[in-house]
Amino acid sequence: MTWWKNSQTGGDMIMNKVTKTAAFCICGLAVITCVLLLAGHPDAQVHNVVGKAMPDDAAPLDRQVFRFLNDEPTNLDIGVAIYEVGGIVFLFERLTMLDHNNRVIPGAATEWTANEDQSKWTFSMRPGARWSDGRPVTAHDFEYSYKRMLDPASGSGYAFFYYNIRGAREFNTGQNADPNSVGVYAVDDMTLVIETEGPCPYLPMIAAFFTSIPVPRWQEEKFGPRWASDENVVSNSSYKVDRWRIGERLTLSLDAYYNGPVKGFFSQIHSIFKNRGNTGLLSYENDELDLVQIDVRELSRIEQDPVLSTQLHKYMDFNALYLFFKTREGLFSDLRVRQAISHAIDRDALCNIVLRDTALPAYTMLPPGFPGYSGDELKDVQRYDPELARRLLAEAGYPGGRGFPSVDIWLRNDPNRIMAAEAVSGMLSNNLGLKVGVRNMEPRVYSEAMAQYRIDLSLIPFQYDFPDPHNLLGMVWHSQPVGAGRHDWMNAEFDRLVDDAARETDAERRFEMYREAERILVEDVGGVFLYHDYFLQLRKPWLAGWQKDSMGQEPFFIDNSTITDLYIRR
């Protein structure tokens, strides 16, 4: 259709312009009407500020607020102070991430490749990625952050985690002061290379660990430590700090700059800080929280409540709770004593009766479902056998427990474990005649004593950092000098096997080495493996989006890749 022509008279031109304007108005109104109708249509697709399409049954965006109970951070500098961040580990996107099935997925890097022997890894950054202040996220940010974390001046408690990287150990321990000696470097803005001391097939998993975050260098240089202790925090994930009310809550909101694969549904997340003695159960019952962690001590009341009992969920996380000893000298340097203790503990009774079915008996460090698990093969090694336990203790010179000095099971300020520790104490008394107490220690005192190998006997948990046997076997149980490990147990063949396995690129051969190493650990009773416990949570029925993992569970971790699946159902 031709609206007007230059050959037309002035009047015709005016009339046609009026007609044209009216037609445009009519079309415009029609478009607006269609948009409004669609917006109100129940099947219309709603997107939030990061462009994520909301589920059909989602509540309106202003009601997409998730509230949970958490420790108050002292700062959010995860790379060097992970124990101070209060569980807020989803502000920063690492190069890679783990999904709810513990598979490595893209994060700040869209893809990664390795050379033939897996000693040089190249990561390609995601185009258009931005910090929450709008600056581009580049490979240089990651180079700076890795080297900062490894700098001994940073005091990072997890620097050892990265010792497979070329030059990392020497730089972190002060043997080499040159940060450029560390094998992490940006080729350009979009390409990061990490070189390792030898083959490192699990490096993408280390790149996904919480401390492998980027740090906004300009913000740190401007504010110093305060860059991560208030609203100065600049992040690179789906969420950013909105408001930090000291002593009350931390509010996070969606970051419109985020263009990555792990986008959140929630418009806001409220991390509500724990008060002294507050477990959160009352707040949950008052609908002030959407999710709360509970422990076995609260289970009876919850199971008897007709509402709360329907909202109780449990899932098995990859963890192990075990007794460890001071083995290089003293009482527990005798293998027969350690074996006697391992055979004197009834794990089935501990899990089913004392812990009320909130745990599974453990006979190995690796839990069921974990890559390389061989617990079924080794179940007999530390089996419950009180007669054998008494015979071994007598052979060690303590028949009926006579002459065995009293000892305490140390805990690291962990009231949730007191029931288990007291039950173990009772079994050692009943079956072996030993006098064993329970001592719940202040965390700093405990950690210092553990690092110096001064604890005779302790019950301690370890939760996996990444889903590979190197984490639970090599990193936890490989012998270390005083000050660098968790316990003093040493076995040269075990060390050799986990070292060789860490560098093995053939997966089948690698897992066989780890199986051999774990058999040595269990037979030599480096630890007495007791149970793998469940996480217990109350979840409101309007909290939706739960994803089942490969074990049929619906896990929840305060991390990007699981918290971003959830939304509020209307």
Query: What CATH number has the domain bearing residue 407?
Result: 3.10.105.10
Cβ burial of 429 (10 Å; 0-12, 13-18, 19+) is middle
* Per-residue model confidence (pLDDT) at position 74: 87
Please check whether residues 395 and 285 belong to one and the same domain. Answer: no
Task: Give how many domains the chain has, as a whole number.
Answer: 3
Average pLDDT, the chain: 90
Q: What is the CA radius of gyration of the chain?
A: 29
Task: Enumerate the β-bridge partners of residue 239.
Answer: 254
> Which secondary-structure segment (H or E) carries 518?
helix 507-523
Instruction: Look up the domain containing 103 and give its range.
Output: 77-225
Q: Is residue 100 part of a domain?
A: yes
Q: What are phi and psi of 193, to 5 degrees?
A: -120, 135
Pair 349, 477 in one domain: yes
pLDDT of residue 277: 57
201 shares a domain with 266: no
Q: Are residues 217 and 250 in the same domain?
A: no
> What type of residue sits at position 245?
R
In a domain, 71, yes or no: no
Q: Where are the beta strands (DSSP E) in 446-544?
A: 457-463, 527-539, 543-544
Q: What are the two backbone dihedrals, phi and then psi, of residue 215, each rounded to the nearest 5 degrees?
A: -125, 135
210 within 8 A of 199, measured Cβ to Cβ? no
Q: 354 and 488 share a domain?
A: yes
Token output for 22: 């009216």
- What CA–CA distance (Å, rounded) separates 57 from 88? 28
What type of residue is 2? T
Instruction: Give, in order, the Cα–Cα distances in Å from 405 to each of 89, 331, 383, 427.
Output: 44, 9, 25, 17
Q: CB-based contacts of 176: which residues, under 8 Å, 6+ apart?
A: 167, 170
What's the token pair of residue 183? 């094998």
The answer to whether residues 483 and 414 belong to one domain is yes
Residues 354 and 481 in one domain: yes
- If asked whether residues 140 and 161 sit together in one domain, one would say yes
pLDDT digit string (tens) for the chain, length 570 residues: 323 323 333 333 333 433 334 344 334 444 433 433 334 445 578 999 999 999 999 999 999 999 999 888 988 999 998 888 888 889 999 999 999 888 999 999 999 999 999 999 999 999 999 999 999 999 999 999 999 999 999 988 889 999 999 999 999 999 999 999 999 999 999 999 999 999 999 999 999 999 999 999 999 999 988 899 877 899 999 999 999 998 899 999 999 999 999 999 999 999 999 876 566 899 999 999 999 999 888 999 999 999 999 999 999 889 999 999 999 999 999 999 999 999 999 999 999 999 999 999 999 999 999 999 988 999 999 999 999 999 999 999 999 999 999 999 999 988 889 999 999 999 999 999 999 999 999 988 998 999 999 999 999 999 999 999 999 999 999 999 888 889 999 999 999 999 999 999 999 999 999 999 999 999 999 999 999 999 999 999 999 999 998 889 999 987 767 788 999 999
Co-location of 334 and 373 in the same domain: yes
- Give the model's pLDDT for residue 464: 93
Residues 303 and 380 in one domain: no
Per-residue confidence (pLDDT) for residue 193, from 0 to 100: 98
